[in-house]
Each structure stands twice: as C-alpha cells, then as structure tokens.
Amino acid sequence: MRNNIYIFILSMMSYLTSAQTFIYNGLIEYECRTNNHKLMKEESPEWFESSKDRIPKYSIVFNNLIFDTCRTLYYPGKEPEQKPPFWGDEGIPDDYIFSDLSKHIYVGQKEVFDQTFLIQDSTKNIKWKLTQETRDIAGFECKKATTIIMDSVFIIAYYTDKIICNGGPLSVNGLPGMILGMVVPRIHSTWFAIKVTPQIIAEDKKLIAPKKGKKATNLELSVKLRETFKEWGKSYIISFML
C-alpha cells in the first residue's frame, strides 16, 4: 500500500513538473529585420545603384505579440534605434493584427501611406510541411516547418509546442504551437523572438480587436495596394498582406 502511495505521489510530481513547462498566456517580443539592399536591388535596380550609399543595409523594428490559448494580438513594440527608410516623416505604421484562432476571425488595422484600413476576414488557412529540424530561439527548442502562401511566397517557420497557441507574428498561424521564428526570403525579412514572458492578460482588455480604419477585406486591400504600387513594390504588397 505504501509503495502504491509513493508511486502515486511521484507520478503527480512528475505531472505537475511537466505541466509547468507549458505556457498558456504571455507576451512575446520579436525583432523584425529586413535587408534593404537586397530588397531594393530587386525592386528597382537603377534607383538602388544611385541611392544605396544613403540607405542602411538592414532595418530593424520590434513588435510584440500577446496571447492566450486561442487569441493573439500583434502590435508595435519598442522604438528602434534607427527609423527604417521609406516610411516617411511619421515613422513606422501602427499596425495591429488580432486573431481568434478558435473562431477563425482575423481583424487587422493597417496603414497604407495616409490611409488606415480595418481588415475583417477569416484567418489564413495555411498548409504546412513539418520537419524534425530544430533551432533554439529565445530559450525554446523550436521545430522547423515550411509552406507557400499567395501562390508563390515561401515561408520558413520555427515553432514551439511549449506555448499552447498555434499563432505567430503578423497573421501567420496553423502550426502545433507558437511560431517564434519566421523567414520570408521573397521580401528578405525575418522575425525572431528575443524574449518570451509568461503572464496573465489582465481583465481581457488587451486581447481585443482593433476598431480604427476604413472597413475592407483582404481582397479589397490587395486591389488597393496593386493600384498604389503599380509597376513596382511587389515586395511591399507581400509585406502588407502577411
């Protein structure tokens, strides 16, 4: 009898220790890095050659993601040391992206130059190819997965199943855990978590959808972007649509 009790206690301790390794609510800080030289050389080679000395090779911005088990809100983080080029005098757009992954609801507040759009649509249905390759990101062992969206945009993602939410930066989602790292070669950009802080989201106030902007769908935003950029800026269209 004593042996059975001893085994039961050990089993419960093991279970509790295991349970404590999972994160159900929290804040993730991402560093988002873009290679401006590669991007502009592809978009406008002649302009790039005449302007490359005035453009920093890399731009870095920071974004935060707060989450619970099924909802995420992605929004601007701390100010970068150097403002990225091409954003104008007002600085980096204040984009907010809310996802309710259990209800397949997506709401994105996005600035396109001087106009703010409120995109209300379904969350992306992304088909991933899982691998066993791993990488350590922000102290978590993450597995690699790949996919293609928008017909031709290749994405590499690294996710951890220790965070119980299948979300990620921007509107990218659908893996068996949180995406802590993402690479989009087409736009020469990466997103990698630099810090994960477990915390309870107080009173549910932060995890709500944005409300500012002209209402539109992703399709309507895509049409607007193509009209705006026309012959150049395909990479920027992809960035706005992620």
Q: What pLDDT score does 231 carry?
A: 59
Q: Are 75 and 212 in contact (CB under 8 A)?
A: no
Question: Model confidence over 227-240: pLDDT tens digits?
Answer: 777 656 677 788 88
Task: Give the CA distances from residue 128 to residues 22, 37, 148, 154, in Å, rounded to whole numbers and listed in that order.
Answer: 23, 30, 8, 11
Rounded to an integer, the average pLDDT of 47-64 is 82
Dihedral sign, Cα of residue 177, residue 136, residue 168, residue 68: positive
User: Both tokens of residue 235?
Assistant: 């990479």
Tell which CATH classification among 2.40.10, 3.40.50, 2.50.20, 2.60.120 matches the domain 23-241: 2.50.20
Q: Write the DSSP assignment of 63-114 as a string of letters.
A: EEEEE-SSEEEEEE-SPPSSPPTTS-TT-S---EEEEETTTTEEEEEEEETT
Q: What are phi and psi of 92, to 5 degrees?
A: -75, 135
Q: Are 176 and 161 in contact (CB under 8 A)?
A: yes
Rounded to an integer, the average pLDDT of 214-236 is 78
Rounded to the nearest angstrom, the gap between the alpha carbon of residue 208 and the centroid of all alpha carbons in its chain is 17
Q: What is the residue extent of each domain of the chain?
A: 23-241
- Give the pLDDT band of residue 114 (cuts 50, 70, 90): confident
**Spatial distance between the Cα atoms of 82 and 21, rounded to a whole number of angstroms:** 36
> Has residue 159 got a pLDDT over 80?
yes
Helix residue ranges, H only, the chain? 2-19, 36-43, 45-51, 218-229, 234-241
Dihedral sign, Cα of residue 164, residue 196, residue 144, residue 133: negative
**Spatial distance between the Cα atoms of 169 and 124, rounded to a whole number of angstroms:** 13
Total Cβ atoms within 10 A of residue 40: 20
